[in-house]
Amino acid sequence: KTFKEIGGSLWNKGQKSRRWTILRYNNQHHSTVTVNDAPHKVKGEAVVEGFFDDERGRGMTMDMKNVLGSHVKSAERTVMMRKDKSLEVCDKIVSPDDKPVLYSWRMVTSAEPKVRKNGIVLKSGGKKMKLRAQSGQTFEYKTWSAQPKESYDEPNPGVIIVGIEAEIPAGGSSDFVVTLSK
């Protein structure tokens, strides 16, 4: 069945809209924080807390709490282009006192991934990039299919989703630093 046949509307941007079940429109398939595999809060805003340009690199920090809602106690993301030309994404997540949080950071790529113990190597067109993560929290490097689960989704030939996933215990605080480099 098509999206319209099941009552879906691309223009309905409400929290419970079927729009957010479309693979390319939801947060699980973009380079952002996802917690408990839940959709982001439609009316939530990621608030920019500041920009920096210093000896480490150039970047910005934003508060993601309103986007993730009650799934987290707090969430902050810093994105930085480091002086060595690598990209660093740091997520600081605090889980609610009464429940753990399943955290993931995902990226869609057309590169061929090789999951290793210490990272994911991405190869494409004779070039190579490394995805590495650091955290005091135990995490796992993972790949996910980018192929449609619903009949109305468009196929995504030649792409895959790569990233990390971790469970943060109830009342826990964890920092995850993902670096993409040559």
Q: What is the pLDDT of residues 18-31, one digit of tens each?
A: 776 777 777 777 78
- Report the C-alpha dihedral over residues 30, 32, 37, 42, rounded to 10 degrees: -90
Instruction: Please write the tens of the pLDDT for every residue from 78-130.
Output: 999 999 999 999 999 999 999 999 999 999 999 999 999 999 999 999 999 99
Total length of the chain: 182
How far apart are the C-alpha atoms of 56 and 58, rounded to whole Å?
7
Q: What is the DSSP string of 72-122?
A: -SEEEEEEEEETTS-EEEEEEEE--TTS-EEEEEEEEESSEEEEETTEEEE
For the segment 149-169, the average pLDDT, to the nearest whole number, is 91
- State the pLDDT at residue 79: 97
Question: How many other CB atoms sit within 10 Å of the CB of residue 164?
Answer: 23
pTM: 0.89
For the segment 142-152, the average pLDDT, to the nearest whole number, is 87
